[in-house]
Amino acid sequence: MNKKHSISTLAVAGVQKLVPYVPGKPIEELERELGLSDIVKLASNENPLGTNPRVAQAIQKTLPELTRYPDGNGFKLKVALAEKLSVDSAQITLGNGSNEILELVARTFLTPDLDVVFSQHAFAVYPIVTQAVGATARIVPAKDYGHDLSAMSEQINDRTRLVFIANPNNPTGTLLQPDELEAFIKALPSTVLCVLDEAYHEYVAPDRRARSIDWLRAYPNLIITRTFSKAYGLAGLRVGYSLSSLEIADLLNRVRQPFNNNMLALAAAETALSDRDYLHRTVAANAAGMQQLTVAFRTLGLEWIPSAGNFVSVDLGRPALPIYEALLRKGVIVRPVANYEMPNHLRVSIGTERENQVFITALSQVLNAI
């Protein structure tokens, strides 16, 4: 047995079979590969408005402090979040992106003899954090691309410790009815935790939103996760958080690294949270861009999954990978979702009006050429 082989067999079983997360292709990588400039990236559900100038200012102001450790408790950001969301700041756990929260939950609550339930086409990080700790994923077939909550309920048994629900879901954009969702959470055994991943919450029309924070009082097994990466435009800084019962927050806090959020990120998030105007412009630009893209899809005779997020998955009616690659050659990066069992779809993030138009033009040229 060669040494390399023997080392990999030492990894826990889940990790040996783990397939790494594939991020959207970075702009610089495509520039290097094709020698193109002026690339349009609509692949990672990023905020297209660019860095918020007020955030840039807050970061500038913090720069002289970089020799210090950041506040390991994120005191100021938690106070600001607590006030805005009407929760106790001790219910908040800050993460290096909400991704880290998902991982903290897995490390805190899962063992190899436990199961995790989530939907087909759900966010790709759920299987990764589940397998990494050796737990078993029970993946429930989707219904019309969305979570089938009654089928998910049926998968819950004595081995189940955790359910992941993304609402809206990525990459489908599907949104659950608030009352159905609450009934599902209410019916969970008290030994099963529910992570309700609301990474796209701010994009959901107010009248369609679940009042999930109100549910925390009634359901001590509920963990809501949110992020500054999407509507607040801070994907590059990595700040997310969870809202939960005090008991859960205390447990997650024991597992997390002492300084998991850096100083610049904390200052940026606090400023971003207070900037209503940037958020409003983000949500308005998203609604307009969603309209722009879906009108174009209709014109091109393409179907799409109605989305409550800042992205939309379009059905090309044929394998999407060659079209993805042809778009790359035109300098447009979108996201193939075959790894989500959606081989005929491309997920397109909503960009600026100009970026959307560049994508639409490229897509119609590519489709015409076939």
Interface residue list for ligand PLP (CB under 6 A): 45, 97-99, 123, 166, 170, 197, 199, 227, 229-230, 235, 240
Cα–Cα distance, 169 to 106 (Å, whole number): 19
- E runs forming strands in 188-298: 193-197, 222-227, 240-244
Rounded to the nearest whole angstrom, what is the least distance from the CB of residue 324 to ligand PLP in the complex? 19
Rounded to the nearest whole angstrom, what is the least distance from the CB of residue 175 to ligand PLP in the complex? 12
Rounded to the nearest whole angstrom, what is the least distance from the CB of residue 166 to ligand PLP in the complex? 4
Residue placing its CB nearer to ligand PLP in the complex, 30 or 128 = 128
Rounded to the nearest whole angstrom, what is the least distance from the CB of residue 296 to ligand PLP in the complex? 23
Residue placing its CB nearer to ligand PLP in the complex, 99 or 366 = 99
Cα–Cα distance, 244 to 101 (Å, whole number): 12
Rounded to the nearest whole angstrom, what is the least distance from the CB of residue 37 to ligand PLP in the complex? 27
Rounded to the nearest whole angstrom, what is the least distance from the CB of residue 76 to ligand PLP in the complex? 19
Cα–Cα distance, 151 to 284 (Å, whole number): 35
Residue placing its CB nearer to ligand PLP in the complex, 99 or 174 = 99
Rounded to the nearest whole angstrom, what is the least distance from the CB of residue 196 to ligand PLP in the complex? 11
Phi, psi (degrees; rounded to nearest 5) at 142: -75, 160
Cβ neighbourhood burial of 26 (10 Å; 0-12, 13-18, 19+): middle
Rounded to the nearest whole angstrom, what is the least distance from the CB of residue 119 to ligand PLP in the complex? 11
Adjacent-strand bridge partners of 138: 117
| Nearest residue to the partner ligand PLP, using Cβ | 97
Residue placing its CB nearer to ligand PLP in the complex, 102 or 323 = 102
Cα–Cα distance, 194 to 109 (Å, whole number): 11
Q: Report the Cα–Cα distance between both ends of the chain, in Å, rounded.
A: 49
Cβ count near 226 (within 10 Å): 27
Residue placing its CB nearer to ligand PLP in the complex, 162 or 366 = 162
Angle at 9 between CA 8 and CA 14, to 5 degrees: 90
**Residue showing tokens 């005779």:** 301
Residue placing its CB nearer to ligand PLP in the complex, 160 or 310 = 310
Cβ count near 220 (within 10 Å): 13
Residue placing its CB nearer to ligand PLP in the complex, 260 or 331 = 260
Output the six-digit token pair for 339. 């790894």
Let me know: does 150 contact 105? Beta carbons within 8 Å. Answer: no
Tally of residues, the chain = 370
Residue placing its CB nearer to ligand PLP in the complex, 99 or 221 = 99
- E runs forming strands in 199-272: 222-227, 240-244
